[in-house]
Structure formats: structure tokens, C-alpha cells
Chain A
């Protein structure tokens, strides 16, 4: 399956600007299911329900509220929220080059890859090479889907990977976790060191797989073979979730068109 672009723009620092497209680096491993009506297998939609009035609430009657205390809210409008949203941007501006070893993995949020676009291949390769040699990653601010993220751009096997990072305020403190009582005994240290040594291993991710997922997929395959599928009645096309960025979608299609030219 071709990877779908999420965003496209340029990655830049000082005088370098490289056109790139952002794609996902991981696909959700969980097998997802649609909720269906068991009478006719129509896919179900979610509606908002007011338990007080015991009725459905149409979208135009729904507002947002920030909960201050039980049953006390501060209502806020979409316009107010929009007024503080960062402007959409077409650049990932690198503001510094950092040593990734200094970044605690607890800061890692979501991994992506950056794919070079037409005309960007050469400077892209150069940036990958330099980052690899210097063992440094670019730190940048980047606006995606109305939110500004702190991101790290690093080289991995000839490609650029982008990881969104959590902001400092989001990280919960580990202060209260480490036990303050008791003393570590030298003898116990030695014993544990020894047993760890006997269990030393290389990290080999290909060796492990989500066993439940494999079992679920096996059930689905068997059912498809033995019982076949069920079909929902034809109806209004439920709007599919399009890619979040029109330009990224067009870039994907442009690449396909080019291939067939």
C-alpha cells in the first residue's frame, strides 16, 4: 500500500530549503472494527444525547465548556479557540541541532518519516548524511492540524524521520515514584548484576509480534472463507475521513500521475 501524505511543505534552516512530504512511520497495530446494527449490518453513527432532556442534540446546539468544578463550566466558542490557533504553515524550521541521547524517550510522542519531493532529493540526501555523521538531530517547531509541535528530525538508514515531542508541561514528574526508604546492599547488587549478565540479549524487534492480533486475523480469515461477508444496505454515502491536508492528497495523486506518464 502506498503511504499516504499527511502534510507537505519544506524543511529549512539557514539557506537550505528542502521540499518534503510527511508520512506516518507506524500503522496502528490494533485490529479495528466498525459498530454495526445486527438487524441489517448498517454501520452505526454516534449522536449526542442529552440525558437531562432525554433527547438527541443537533450539532448547532452543541457548545464547548471547560470544566472548573462539578456542574460548573466556562463556555468557549470555536471562534475564540480559532483566534489562538497557530497559522497553518508550510515549513519545518530547524532552530538548532541537538544530541538525541540527551532527549529522554518519555518525550517521544509520534513517529513520522519525511519523503523528499521533486527537486529536494539532493539536499535531502546531504542533510541525512550530515546528521548521520555528526550524530545530531534537528530541533524544530512545526504546525500540524492547528497545533504547534516541537519536533526532532533525525536520520535513520538514509531517510529523515520526524518525531513529535511532548512539551515539558505534559511530562508527569517521577519524583514520588522512587522509594526513599531502605538501603541498597552491595551483595544484592553483585547478585543481580550477575543474573542480568546471563540474560544479555540484542534487541531484535522482528522476533516479537502481537500474538492477539495474529489470532484475531486468523479468526477473520477463517470466517471469510467459511461464512463469507455480510453487506450493509446501500444508503447515503457516509463521508469518509479524507486525508487531513488537501495539498498532501494532491501530491500523492501527482506522483501516481507522473508514474503513468
Chain B
């Protein structure tokens, strides 16, 4: 087992197995993974900050088994920030907060390729700071169908006076985020609201949309998963890698770009690779920045 000790922000960190092929069909090693997260850090860190991280670890790479880890691994360095949260069963649990570069690198050294976080911060776990529409294509539907749904959602939300932002899931779907950042919001509000929108969408686009989770309803349609608006759920963080065959990223798109790509009709163009992600943020910065600061209130509740 190879070891390499690095120093980040004055903190020593021992990195292991850097040559391990985590994405074997693309020769993308752990060293590549660490390098990706180091370069994307300025953009991803604000979105991870103060959120209870769920690690999705792939110690033997994306083709082998993975496991979720919610609890902060017990042997974490002393400088890793943690928080106590209550689980659904009432038990207390210590979780990691990825609040700086060294913690991000430490987490990636654990081969946590995917970073999943809740819609609320650890200090206020019942206050979602955004509402999300998780658009998931069923069999025989694809990301272009998701794009159609996302564009309709955007129009609908805009009529309600709400701005929203879209990112790829890094797999087959899209995620539409409505920033709220208002302390009075509850998950009951965001759930009621997103469910109502999903029902209305399904009613008006019965051939394109379903709000039912059951697989048999999803064939050829886009499932609007409103139930993600829950304190016990997590979403893959923007800029996180995904553990697919190729190292794809959950990446924000401009609405104009989504319109154009939807018109071109090539689903592959809606996928952003790790390399593209790094060069894009260098030019455009964090397109998802507003999600963290924009204050909006849900109407009609």
C-alpha cells in the first residue's frame, strides 16, 4: 500500500493508494480524483459548508461495491469539523462538515467519490434553504425529456415570481433548485409546494411527466421526485463526481444553454465530464452561487 504525506493549509495528511484505478475503463485513478476535487474546491466548498455529509465510498472503484457512511469515520483527524445531529430514531450521531480544502481531500482519500448533502444546514436541520425538483427519466425516456420538463418548470416558477437554477445529476437526470434562504420555511412547505407542482405538471403533460414513484408509471416519462424535499433526504452536491463508468460531474447549466441543448437533441451533450467541469468554472465561476444566497418565499401557502 503506497503512502504519500502532503501538507495542506499547514495540516499534514497521509494519502494512500493514489495509483488505484477508481474508474478502470478510463484509467482515472485516485490521484485524478483528488486533483479534480482540489481544482473544483473553490466552487464546491460553499455548497458543502455546514451540511451533514453522507459519504458514498467506492474503495475498490466504481465497478465494485460501495457503501454509504453517514457517521463521521471515528478515526478522523482532530481538525475535521463535525456536528451532532439527531437521527430519525432520535439517536445522536456525529457527522462531518466539509468546511475546508483539507477536509475535502481527506474525504476523497477515503474514496468517497460522490458527496451527498441535505437541503438544510446542520445547525438548522428543519429549515430547507432551497426546494428541489429531482427529475429522473424512466425507461425509454432520457435527459432531453428532463430538459423539456425543467424548462416548463422554470416558466411556471417564474410566473410565481420564483427564480430557479438547474444542474445535471451527473447520471441521467436534472435537478432544478429554487433558492429560499428564508428562516421561516419548513420541509412541510417545500414538500406541499413541490408536490402540488408535480401533480399539476402530470395532469397537463400526462405523456411526459409522472409524480408517482412506482416503476410501472415511469416508463417513457420523467418522474418529478418531489419527496426529496425532506429533512432525512440528501441530494448529490453540485460539482460532485458521480460513480458511473465515466467520471461525470453534477454540473450547473445556464437556462439558455439548456434551451439550446434541448433543441439540438443530443442527450450526450448534456453530460459534463470532470475535465470540462474544471475548465468551465475557470471561465464562468460558480453558476450555482445564487442558490446559496438568493432569498425567496413560496407564494400561495
Task: Find chain B residues with CB under 8 A from A242 CB.
Answer: 299-301
Asked if B197 is at the interface of the complex by the 8 Å CB criterion, the answer is yes
CB-CB under 8 A from B152, the residues of chain A are: 257
Does A253 sit at the interface, judged by CB under 8 A?
yes
In the bound assembly, the distance between CA atoms of A119 and B207 in angstroms comes to 12
For A258, what are the chain B residues with a Cβ–Cβ distance below 8 Å?
Answer: 204
Cα–Cα distance between A242 and B300 once the two chains are bound (Å): 5
Q: Name the residue in A117, A249, A256 with the highest tally of chain B Cβ atoms < 10 Å from its Cβ.
A: A249
CB within 8 Å of B: which of A80-96?
none
B156 touches which one: A243, A246, A247, A253 (CB < 8 A)?
A: A253
Cβ contact within 8 Å between A257 and B193: no
Nearest CB in chain A to that of B200: its residue: A250
The reply to whether A250 and B301 form a contact with Cβ atoms under 8 Å apart is no
B197 to chain A, nearest CB (A): 6
Chain B, residue nearest A249 (CB): B300
Number of interface residues of B (CB under 8 A): 17
- Interchain CB contact under 8 A, B193 and A253: no
For the complex, count residues of A whose C-beta is within 8 A of B.
Answer: 18
Bound CA–CA A254/B205 (angstroms): 11
**Minimum CB–CB distance for B47 against chain A, Å:** 29
B219 vs chain A, min Cβ distance (A): 20
Chain A CB within 8 A of B199 CB: yes
- When C-beta atoms are compared, the residue in chain B nearest to A9 turns out to be B203
In whole angstroms, what is the CA distance A251 to B156 when docked? Answer: 10
B163 to chain A, nearest CB (A): 15
Q: B11 within 8 Å of A by Cβ?
A: no
Q: Chain B's nearest CB lies how many Å from the CB of A12?
A: 15
Greatest chain B CB density within 10 A among A242, A243, A246, A251 is at: A246
Is B155 part of the contact surface with A, judged by Cβ < 8 Å? yes
- In the complex, which residues 283-301 of chain B have their Cβ closer than 8 Å to any Cβ of chain A? 299-301
B188 at the interface (CB under 8 A from A): no
Cβ-based interface call for B206 (8 A): yes
From the candidates A19, A118, A250, A260, name the one contacting B196 in the complex (CB within 8 A).
Answer: A250
- Check if B200 sits within 8 Å of A247, measured CB to CB: yes
The 3 nearest A-B residue pairs measured at CB: A242-B300, A250-B200, A253-B159
Q: Which residues of A contact B (CB under 8 A)?
A: 19, 117-119, 242-243, 246-247, 249-251, 253-254, 256-258, 260-261
User: 9 A-B Cβ contacts within 8 A?
Assistant: A242-B299, A242-B301, A246-B301, A250-B200, A251-B203, A253-B159, A254-B204, A257-B155, A261-B155
